[in-house]
Each structure stands twice: as structure tokens, then as C-alpha cells.
Amino acid sequence: MNNRILLFVILTVVLVAPAFAQQAGSGQQVTPAIQAESDRPPLTVPKAPDFWDGDDPNVVNLILHPFANKKYVHRLTDPIHDRLNELDQITAEQKTHTREIDSRTQQGLQLASEKVTLADQHASDAEAKSQAAAAAATQASGRVASTEQKVNSLDAFKGDAQTEIRFSAGQTVLSKTAKDVLDQMAGPLKGQRSYIIEVRGFAPGSGSAAIANSKKMADSVVRYLVLTHGIPMYRIYELSLGNASAGNGMAGKRASAPRVEVSVLKNDLTAQR
């Protein structure tokens, strides 16, 4: 009876053990959850060459074989540990690479910021130079306008004072009264510029005789201004008009008495200085 029970147990174990081992083997198959950045193939469960997988075919191993032992567990888990170590190494390398990229990115951003700051500084300098150039151009334009005004005013002489020196008939020498009048007129001109003196001589009569007499009177006035008051000759314009129309707006009226009209003409530049 006992022999039959033992035989029944052995046959049951023999029939059930392969199915249990196959189910345990299929349940323990490992598929990597994360594909590493290497070219290594996925992990596979090592397959036994036969049912006994290197164990001796006896009753004890037949009973204990389907259960996991240390050797069997190590054979299945060692490749997983190796792959995990490899993933840890790859992760560490990725962190290092990421830090390097971050460092380079920060350096690039800092360099770009410095270039932007330098560009802004150059732009500010250029704007300042442009404003200075515009101010200089405006100042130069003002100077040109002022110069043009002065140039246009070079020949703009206006009458400042007019003096009349009268002579007796046949007289060409200046009297004491005539000299006093000329002194009063020429005195303020000392040290001044931008003025001219117009001397016009008039004499009654006709033809060249009247012109000659008017010239002698005008010459006496010019001679006194040059020798006594130091008036330069280039500032004096002498005209011998004979018995031509008299000045002071009396057009058409002939000279009735010998005389010399002296006019001081000043330029507008004198008032601007």
C-alpha cells in the first residue's frame, strides 16, 4: 500500500513539475523597461539545455528543482544587475553632459549679453557723435549765414555825417572856421574802421575852369584830413564836380557858391563789432 502511494506521488510530481517549471520560467522572463543609449540587445532569460538544468536526475532534485534556489536566482538576476549598473553609468554620463551643455549655454548667453551691451554702448556713442555732428553742422550753418550777411554788408555804406565847407570867391585855402569844422568831423574817426569819406567840390562858372577850381578846394580838404588827422588815402574818395547840380537833394540847381561837401559813410559791420 505504501509503495503504491509513493509511486502515485512520484508520477504526480513527474507530470506536474514540467508544467510548473514552464509556467515559472515564463512568469520570470525579464524585459528591460528602459532601453539604454547603447547598442546592447535586450536582456533574455537564459534557457536550460534540458529539464534538469544541470541538476542530477534524482528524486530530491525532482522535488526541489521547480523552486528557485540561489544559483538559479543569480543566473537570472546577474544580467539585470549588470544592465542596471550600465544604466547608472549612462545616467551619470548624461548628467555630466547636461551640466557641460548648461555651462556652455550660460557662457554663450553671457557672451551674447556682453555683445549686446557693447552694441548698445556703440549705438549710444554713435548717437552722441551724431548729435555732436548735428550741433556742429548747425553752428557751422549759423557761422556761414553770419559770414554771408557780413559779406553782403561789405558795400552797404550809409551816411553818418555831412559837413559843408564854404570858400570865398577865388579862395582855395582852408580858413580857421573850415579847419575847426573838419576837426570836429574827423576827430571821432580815429581808430575806427569800415568807413569812407566822400569829398565833393563845387564851383560856379562853366567848363573846365569850374572843374579845376572845385578840384583845388577838394584837394585842400583832402590834404588837411590826411596830414592833420592821419586819414588813409584809400578811405577818401574825391570828386571835382565843377558847377554840377548841388547836393543835399537840390537836383537841377547849379552851384552858386564855391564849397566842398564832406560826407562820412559807415558800413553796417561797424555796429556788429
Q: Are 46 and 75 in contact (CB under 8 A)?
A: yes
Model pLDDT, residue 28: 46
Model pLDDT, residue 45: 58
CA angle 12/50/75 to nearest 5° reads 105
For residues 176 and 24, which has the higher predicted lDDT (pLDDT)? 176
* Per-residue model confidence as pLDDT tens digits over 52-79: 566 666 666 666 555 556 666 677 677 7
Alpha-carbon dihedral 125, 127, 129, 130, rounded to 10 degrees = 160
Q: Which of 204, 203, 233, 228 is nearest to 215 (CA)?
A: 203
Model pTM score = 0.44
5-14, 222-231, 236-245 — which one is most confidently predicted on average?
222-231
**Annotated domain spans of the chain:** 2-67, 157-272
CA angle 31/37/41 to nearest 5° reads 40
Q: What does the alpha-carbon distance between residue 142 and residue 102 come to, in Å, rounded to a whole number?
A: 59
| Protein fold of 157-272 | 60s Ribosomal Protein L30; Chain: A; (3.30.1330)
Q: What does the alpha-carbon distance between residue 147 and residue 136 come to, in Å, rounded to a whole number?
A: 16
